[in-house]
Amino acid sequence: MDLYKLTAHELHDKLVSKEISSVELTENVYSRIDEVEDKVQAYVTLDKENAMAQAAKVDAKIAAGEAIAPLAGIPGAIKDNICTKGLLTTCSSKMLSNVVPIYDAHVIKKLRADDAIFTGKTNMDEFAMGSTTESSYFHKTYNPWNLERVPGGSSGGSAAAIAAGEAIWSLGSDTGGSIRQPASFNGCVGIKPTYGRVSRYGCVAFASSLDQIGPITRDVTDAALVLNTICGKDEHDSTSLPVDVPDFTKALRADVKGLRIGLPKEYYGEGVDPKVKAEIEKAVKTYESLGAEIVDVSLPHTEYAVITYYIIAPAEASANLARYDGVRYGFRAANATSAPEMTRLSRTEGFGPEVRRRIMLGTYVLSSGYYDAYYKKAMQVRTLIRRDFNEAFEKCDVLLTPTSPVVAYPVDGKMDPLSIYMLDVTTIPVNMAGLPGISIPCGFADGMPVGMQLIGKVLDEETVLRAAYTFEQATDFHKAMAPLGGNK
């Protein structure tokens, strides 16, 4: 049986009823990895030995009649910027290519406590900066729907692993769209929780006021299950919110009657591929037929979101990445003749071009004389973007947009960085305002999956999940399997 094709909740039922064992399931996922990883290259590091040992432990618990958690014994893949004790955590950078963390990220601790299994660490854009997974220091990752196309990014490895059957669930991180956009490009479900819902402790920092960890899965129920495990207050992260975590599976009701769904007009304009737009419009019709009320809204400062992000995110990155100096840990250049030269060479050799570009930009916008003109101004615009959402949410309960204006584009498409930056216009504002946003599959264009984004109010993941679940129950898009077609 191809267990690797199933969802976590289906597999949980089979484990509990003893129809399958976790060892059998984990073996099955690794044999799928053996079969397709050459083509997809979703992983940086695999950890079969520990995964199998964990699986045996879970089987022993089941045999002893102990109750198990929903993710117990189910193999998931972890983005390589999330610290795993004893297992390489590289951020897909030469700078961290030798780093084995001495502690677990908060989310990993929680997953371990629930006996989840980790297949390995997934490939990503270096330090989560990018939208294609092409800036990884190690190798590219290829889209299982068409191996000539990118899997998106920066969590491209985590999304491709799900689409290719190389893991049952995965974790990504999202600073400006890095969970939702790859989920959309790979026909998966991906949710970025409200800023502060999930502890960032142990997630290698990119832009701390925007970063958030979240799940990439095959369906909405699995996303709710992973959220149940990873959310919650953590004393190690001062931005983690002291709020109760609901049981997100309780929000999974197939019912949108009377739900007000807002369509922000700025997300449907120029630049959205007409084929993508057509699929989104069909989804809107589906919601209408299910009893939702569709309302037009406006988010007038949307056009400033990307440029504002490219001031705030690099500014925070330049501060966060200052710690990689060749002294304490990570890559150290050989042959330097003085300490300053060692730091300079370690940083120029250890970071790739995109990371260097952002450090320079961030240092510039924070420098005295420019701070007011750029960084302070950007923070003011960020407030306007947040206010736009507050006003829109007076008229609706949830917003519906394309997750990305386009489907996955060709690898080595020779797109200039600026055009790629601009494509994040649909995801970045959500991070700027700290809101929850999900991407779910809603159609196909040119044979590639199209994703629809649902954005909710702060801490209202439940309405987002309910709306997503209702659509999923009414459609079959989430059941399609990636064909691993095209050549690499």
**Whether residue 154 lies in the annotated active site:** yes
Residue 175 contacts ligand GLN per CB under 6 A: yes
Residue 424 contacts ligand GLN per CB under 6 A: yes
Residue 128 contacts ligand GLN per CB under 6 A: yes
DSSP characters for 379-393?
HHHHHHHHHHHHHHT
Nearer to ligand GLN, 206 or 471 (CB): 206
Which residues, numbered 147-166, are part of the site for ligand GLN (CB under 6 A)?
Answer: 154
- Looking at 76, 151, 176, 352, which residue binds ligand GLN (CB under 6 A)? 176
Nearer to ligand GLN, 15 or 432 (CB): 432
Residue 59 contacts ligand GLN per CB under 6 A: no
DSSP characters for 436-468?
-EEEEEEEEETTEEEEEEEEESTT-HHHHHHHH
How many residues of this chain bind ligand GLN (CB under 6 A)?
Answer: 13
Q: What's the full length of the chain, in residues?
A: 488
Give the interface segment with ligand GLN, choosing from 126-134, 271-279, 344-352, 476-484 (CB under 6 A): 126-134
Please identify which of the residues 21, 22, 136, 154 carries the catalytic annotation: 154
Q: Is 11 helix (H, G, I), strand (E, B) or coil?
A: helix
Other Cβ atoms closer than 10 A to 113: 10
Residue 403 contacts ligand GLN per CB under 6 A: no
Sheet strand arrangement including 293-297: 43-46, 117-122, 75-79, 169-173, 213-217, 189-192, 437-445, 448-456, 398-402, 260-264, 293-297
Please identify which of the residues 21, 22, 79, 199 carries the catalytic annotation: 79
Please, are residues 400 and 453 in contact by the beta-carbon 8 Å criterion? yes
Other Cβ atoms closer than 10 A to 334: 8
Nearer to ligand GLN, 421 or 477 (CB): 421
Residue 313 contacts ligand GLN per CB under 6 A: yes
**Whether residue 178 lies in the annotated active site:** yes
Across 25-63, b (16+ Cβ under 10 Å) vs e yields: bbbbbbebbeebbeebbbbbbbbeeebbebbebbbebbe
User: How many Å apart are CA 381 and CA 89, to the nearest integer?
Assistant: 35
Residue 131 contacts ligand GLN per CB under 6 A: yes
Supply angle C-alpha 426, 431, 433, rounded to 5. Answer: 105
Residue 240 contacts ligand GLN per CB under 6 A: no
**Whether residue 238 lies in the annotated active site:** no
Least distance to ligand GLN, CB of residue 354, Å: 8
Nearer to ligand GLN, 47 or 424 (CB): 424
Residue 129 contacts ligand GLN per CB under 6 A: yes
Nearer to ligand GLN, 54 or 154 (CB): 154
- Looking at 54, 122, 143, 178, which residue binds ligand GLN (CB under 6 A)? 178
323 by Cβ neighbours in 10 Å (0-12 / 13-18 / 19+) ranks as exposed
| Residues with active-site annotation | 79, 154, 178
Binding site for ligand GLN (CB under 6 A): 128-131, 154, 174-178, 206, 313, 424
